[in-house]
Structure 1
Amino acid sequence: MKIVSVNLGERKEIDWKGKKVTTGIFKYSVDIPIFLDEEEVRGDAICNREHHGGIDQAVYAYSVKHYDYFKELYPDLNWEMGMFGENLTLSDLEETAIHVGDTFKVGDVILEVTKSRQPCMKLGVRFNDMSIVKQFWNTTMCGVYFKVLQTGFVKKDDVFELLKSDKTKPTIAEIYTQKRAQKA
């Protein structure tokens, strides 16, 4: 698994159906290394600290392979890396094989898997279609939040090296499926 794109977003205020929405979901690929700090990605806007950022959600990663599924549903969108609000777009992130607590070294950084992402209305804002929220929920392609155990810079083409995995802990897909069932 390697980094295909590092992505940052700015605070953006938009008009969504007559309502003012402030969001940082509009992330775009950058050609410089990004710094993964203890509670956030430096230089990336976090507009809702209750649901984003913090120790257990410092970095959000999503698989470029998942893009293909959603491109079929939204062929007319201008597809760019960072489309799902992820800080790191990875080559092959598989939620059914990554366990809570798995630890990776990437560049000088050490990351620990903490939780799945739950989609909110801002994903619908990004796609300009609220249907994406339910479609996202109905897959296990949710992406992964990481805790930063050792801070530092990462960049495109950096490789994730698995340091530790505990297969007795639930996978991200299992956690996500349980949360989806609770919401139903």
Structure 2
Amino acid sequence: MNTFKVAEIRVGKAVPYGPAGKFSAIDKQLVRGSIHAGPLGLDGDEQGDRTLHGGPNKALHAYARSHLPRWAAELPHRADHFQAGAFGENLVIDDVTEADFCLGDRWRLGEALLEVSQGRQPCWKLNLRFDLPDMARRVQDTGRSGWYFRVLEAGAITAGDQGMLIERPHSDWSIARVSHLLYHDRMNRPALVELAALPGLTDSWKRLAAARLASGQTEDWSRRIETPTE
């Protein structure tokens, strides 16, 4: 796929969330008209914890709308939860999934130039969002997690804009493939070496790959995907 369509654009304010009242802006609201996308994201969008969310490598979170009916079918007792914006995404994307985006892809969207930086690593806030204690783990296991864009050139974007592929330097490294490596084929050493060497890879993923190669073990996910009790 060389194009995609933005069905909706959403932003959110950080508010207390969860049992410990930690801040989150996962509840993104619909934007009408154009909005400016800059290196740190959309005007008016916030993150509850800037050490884990936001920043240049996670400026825009995108999610494939085509995943929502599948989630609803798998979890019928939570079907009403699976609406656009459910995963805290800034961009609700039509026509494509994680298999259609590769690390380092550059896409022109409206006035902005975006670059695919990494897939989303789901956290425990999704457990609360969907009232399911293992939702973060389900998202991780399925690979239906969404992905992040950097904003290389700032500019206005609007719902209905069509993204156009400008450059694809790492065609072997789709977001879907990276997810499979990180969460299923976890100790594939040749693949980890290749991933770690990719130009433009985020520092956090470089460290993750290097740690696995050095230790021969997978990192502990519990603090990220299990809901804290205090």
Same fold (TM over 0.5): yes
Please tell me the residue identity of whatever aligns with 1:154.
I
Match of 1:49 in 2: 50
Question: Would the aligned equivalents of 2:71 and 2:82 in 1 still touch at CA under 8 Å?
Answer: no
Match of 1:108 in 2: 111
**For 1:69 and 1:26, how far apart are their aligned partners in 2?**
21
**Which secondary structure does the structure 2 equivalent of 1:36 belong to?**
strand
Match of 1:152 in 2: 155
**Which secondary structure does the structure 2 equivalent of 1:138 belong to?**
helix
Alpha-carbon offset, residue 93 of structure 1: 2.8
**For 1:142 and 1:76, how far apart are their aligned partners in 2?**
17
Match of 2:123 in 1: 120
**Which secondary structure does the structure 1 equivalent of 2:177 belong to?**
helix
Alpha-carbon offset, residue 179 of structure 1: 2.2
Per residue, is there more strand in 1 or in 2? 1
Structure 2 length-normalised TM: 0.73
Alpha-carbon offset, residue 76 of structure 1: 4.3
Please tell me the residue identity of whatever aligns with 1:22.
F
**For 1:62 and 1:32, how far apart are their aligned partners in 2?**
20
Match of 2:95 in 1: 92
**For 1:166 and 1:15, how far apart are their aligned partners in 2?**
40
Deviation digits for residues 46-105 of structure 1 (CA, Å, limit 9, x no counterpart): 111111111111111011001111122154434432110110000023212311111100
**Which secondary structure does the structure 2 equivalent of 1:175 belong to?**
helix
Match of 1:68 in 2: 69
**Which secondary structure does the structure 2 equivalent of 1:161 belong to?**
strand
Per residue, is there more helix in 1 or in 2? 2
Aligned pair partner of 1:133 in 131, 136, 151: 136
**CA 1:15 to 1:56, structure 2 compared with 1: closer, same or farther past 3 Å?**
closer
After TM superposition, the structure 1 stretch with the greater mean CA deviation from structure 2, 159-168 or 111-120, is: 159-168
Greater relative contact order, per chain length (Cα 8 Å cut-off, separation 6+)? 1
Please tell me the residue identity of whatever aligns with 1:23.
S
Question: Would the aligned equivalents of 1:62 and 1:86 in 2 still touch at CA under 8 Å?
Answer: yes
**For 1:149 and 1:131, how far apart are their aligned partners in 2?**
35
Bigger-Rg structure (1/2):
2
**CA 1:169 to 1:39, structure 2 compared with 1: closer, same or farther past 3 Å?**
farther
Alpha-carbon offset, residue 168 of structure 1: 4.3
Match of 2:41 in 1: 40
Please tell me the residue identity of whatever aligns with 2:112.
V
Question: Would the aligned equivalents of 1:28 and 1:83 in 2 still touch at CA under 8 Å?
Answer: no
**For 1:118 and 1:125, how far apart are their aligned partners in 2?**
16
**Which secondary structure does the structure 2 equivalent of 1:96 belong to?**
helix
Alpha-carbon offset, residue 160 of structure 1: 0.4
**For 1:92 and 1:133, how far apart are their aligned partners in 2?**
24
**Which secondary structure does the structure 2 equivalent of 1:67 belong to?**
helix
Question: Would the aligned equivalents of 1:82 and 1:89 in 2 still touch at CA under 8 Å?
Answer: yes
Match of 1:7 in 2: 10
Unmatched tracts of structure 1, length 5 or more: none
**CA 1:164 to 1:45, structure 2 compared with 1: closer, same or farther past 3 Å?**
same
Question: Would the aligned equivalents of 1:57 and 1:146 in 2 still touch at CA under 8 Å?
Answer: yes
**CA 1:79 to 1:136, structure 2 compared with 1: closer, same or farther past 3 Å?**
closer
Structure 1 length-normalised TM: 0.91
